[in-house]
Amino acid sequence: MFEILQKLEKTYNGKDLTMLKRAYDFAKKAHANQKRASGEEYFIHPCTVAHILVDLGLDAATVAAAFLHDVIEDTPVSEGDIKKEFGEEVLELVVGVTKLDKIRFNSKEEEQAENFRKIFVAMAKDIRVIIIKLADRLHNMRSLNFLSSERQQRMARETLDIYAPLADRLGISQIKCELEDLCLKYVEPDMYEYLSSNIDEKLKESVDLVEHVVDEVKKMLADSGISGEVFGRKKHLYSVHRKMKERNKTLDQIYDLVAIRVIVNTVDECYEVFGKIHHKWKPVPGRIKDYIATPKLNMYRSLHTTVMTNFGKVFEIQIRTYEMNHAAEYGIAAHWKYKENKKEADDLDTRLSWIREVMEWQGGLKDSKEFLNSLKGDIYSSEVLVFTPKGDVISLPKDATPLDFAYNIHSQVGNRCVGAKVNSKMVPLNTVLQVGDVVDIITSQNSKGPSWDWLKIVKSPSARVKIRQFFKREMKEENIKMGKSMFEAEAKRRGYSMSELVTDQSFEHVASKLSFTGQDEMFASIGYGALTVNHVIVKFIDFYRRSQPKEEITKFISKNKSSSGGVNVKGMSGLLVRFARCCTPVPGDDIVGFISRGHGVTVHRRDCPNLKNADYDRLIEVSWEDTATSSYNATIKVIGNTQTEILTIVASVVAQFDLDIVSTNGRVDGKSKRAIVDFCIRLNSIDVLNSLIVKLKQDPKISDVYRTAN
């Protein structure tokens, strides 16, 4: 604990130092008499967290917040106290960390996604909160052996799943490596034991060789008048473990347990050394990586090569500048160390852009599972490098497609993309790109923009954001309105109402197929023509039909049964039925009902001249009641090319079933030019009706058949 005070004296001065000392005293007092699971004083924990952050080079506010990070949660100290003593900035950091502490990562995917969201919200507000949290987790992992084995497992898993990848993504390899090794110890204790004892054994064997290679490279530098450092660096256990697993190899088959690192002053010198090394030793194909020209997603920069040395042993060599080396160790934290430096500020912006991206698209992703997957995809993604036709290198996430490539170039290129060539051959847009592919995107000014399917194809979050942005722009009020009225008209034409088709349930079902997140999105894309209304509506109709319970249909049939005066009135019971005196219909006549106000239904012959001027809305289908009381009328709507065709087909099928058609009523839709015929069919069981519909659907000339009510 005195160590940290000395460290503070050495690192900070002036107002910063005074504040940090006050934070130290404040936390010490607040945590007095508290103990950790290990039995040691609680205050050791915030001190260690602060220490880690000082070593990372964080600013005074962050370190002060580290001292105070557990006081709100574990002591009577209030937010107001901290604000009064240390001001708004420190308070915000402490509150941020406290909030993150409350996040428990469960196995439930839904909750995990929600938790990730919280982390990203915190990061977007102030990235330093996450850095404090990482330091906090690091110290907790270091002292994990005092907890129950169940908590050890949970913490280690959580760290491996969330915090180590976050540290990696922020480029803080120091923390990442230590976290991973600590996790391995608890998650796979046997493997940890095996590796930690055997790697050192193996290293002893090769220590002379490593020294030899280091000497050779040093000589190389001296000969070229380049000043720099050369040393061997042991790989951390977890990375060896990962390599064994990924490449399915035993420890003996992993040759790069040590990497030779060369650190020089300039980028030019990096490449000079790189060339000299390849001149001296043969590089292993496929193992040369230029992360200077194309930095990793976490901004890691370095040259990597693996060479066969003249002593018959393969070595990995990493070449970088001092600045790159520092950035590789400290990642995003390096920003605070060189705060004055303008270039570093830009760098921070680039480093943080992915967080903004995540924030942006998480707003558009309502489905937490999708969110979680995309996020994991982003954090864990490895990369594939491909080329533009001009030879520029583009780095994309693994399994990326030409669409990812197009959006990486520019959102306009993506939005207008109509095709792609890979290595001069036309390919489908969902083709998975391979390392070294030359990708040429074909665009067209006439393109209507991205399609919703693209959201399923693209692998990079940024492409997904851009596609969603496009849709968002198109989400104008008039498009939504237009789409809605198109949908409504089509629904009506097919004999449905909008409200029976579009329910929360049915939307959820359709949305999962077409990747919408809201009804507005759906209507808008119908409105501006990205989707045809037919494409969407058939999915709703399908859902509607499948979700109609059988009782409903039975009810409908029995409702139809009600009759009066030997006449069925469609869908109504208990009505007063009279026969019109003008045309005196008799059983067998084609009849129609007229709803007269206060007098029930008057039944006319359909050809009755008095009906010609009747109010069409007041006409109602009626039919003669069959003497066989066990049979009922059911109505179906059949859609096809022409009325004659429909009538012929239905008549023959109905005859096959030995049924009667009670009435038909056909028309041609003005817009789609398709024929629609309603049939009233007399039958005696619902099963017969169902098989009739199935049979009709099998005919290719019939495009749709369904029951109608009322």
Q: What amino acid positions are annotated as catalytic residues?
A: 73-74
Site size for Mn ion (CB under 5 A)? 2
Minimum separation from the CB atom of position 82 to Mn ion (A)? 15
**Cβ pair 401, 458 in contact under 8 A:** yes
**Residue type at position 641:** N
Q: Of 136 and 621, which has the nearer Cβ to Mn ion?
A: 136
Q: Of 70 and 370, which has the nearer Cβ to Mn ion?
A: 70
Q: Of 28 and 637, which has the nearer Cβ to Mn ion?
A: 28
Q: Does 136 bind Mn ion (CB under 5 A)?
A: yes
The Cα 509–Cα 109 span in angstroms is 20
Minimum separation from the CB atom of position 143 to Mn ion (A)? 11
Minimum separation from the CB atom of position 144 to Mn ion (A)? 13
Q: Which stretch binds Mn ion (CB under 5 A): 111-119, 131-139, 149-157, 162-170?
A: 131-139
The single residue among 42, 51, 52, 70 that binds Mn ion, judged by CB under 5 A, is 70
Tokens of 356: 């903004």
**Residue type at position 133:** K
The Cα 506–Cα 540 span in angstroms is 6
228 CB burial (10 A radius; 0-12, 13-18, 19+): buried
Q: Which residues contact 77 (CB under 8 A, 6 or more apart)?
A: 26, 30, 68, 71
Q: Of 136 and 440, which has the nearer Cβ to Mn ion?
A: 136
Minimum separation from the CB atom of position 146 to Mn ion (A)? 14
Q: Which stretch binds Mn ion (CB under 5 A): 67-75, 331-339, 466-474, 587-595?
A: 67-75
Q: Which stretch binds Mn ion (CB under 5 A): 133-141, 477-485, 525-533, 565-573?
A: 133-141
**Cβ pair 16, 60 in contact under 8 A:** yes
Q: Which stretch binds Mn ion (CB under 5 A): 65-73, 429-437, 489-497, 579-587?
A: 65-73
Minimum separation from the CB atom of position 85 to Mn ion (A)? 19
Q: Of 91 and 486, which has the nearer Cβ to Mn ion?
A: 91
Please name which of 605, 657, 656, 663 lies closest in space to residue 634, comparing C-alpha atoms: 663
Q: Which residues contact 290 (CB under 8 A, 6 or more apart)?
A: 303
Q: What share of the chain is helix, strand, coil (3-state, %, to 5)?
A: 55, 15, 30
Rounded to a whole number of angstroms, the CA Rg of the chain reads 37
Q: What is the 3-state secondary structure (H, E, C) of 185-219?
A: HHHCHHHHHHHHHHHHHHHHHHHHHHHHHHHHHHH
Minimum separation from the CB atom of position 64 to Mn ion (A)? 15
Q: Of 90 and 213, which has the nearer Cβ to Mn ion?
A: 90
Q: Which stretch binds Mn ion (CB under 5 A): 66-74, 252-260, 348-356, 441-449?
A: 66-74
- Residue appearing with tokens 């042993």: 313
Minimum separation from the CB atom of position 471 to Mn ion (A)? 42
Query: By beta-carbon distance, which residue lies closest to Mn ion?
Result: 136
Q: Of 70 and 488, which has the nearer Cβ to Mn ion?
A: 70
Q: Which of residues 571-630 bind Mn ion (CB under 5 A)?
A: none
Q: Which of residues 346-365 bind Mn ion (CB under 5 A)?
A: none
592 CB burial (10 A radius; 0-12, 13-18, 19+): buried
**Cβ pair 429, 414 in contact under 8 A:** no
Q: What is the 3-state secondary structure (H, E, C) of 532-567?
A: CHHHHHHHHHHHHHHHCCHHHHHHHHHHHHCEECCE
Footprint of Mn ion on this chain (CB under 5 A)?
A: 70, 136
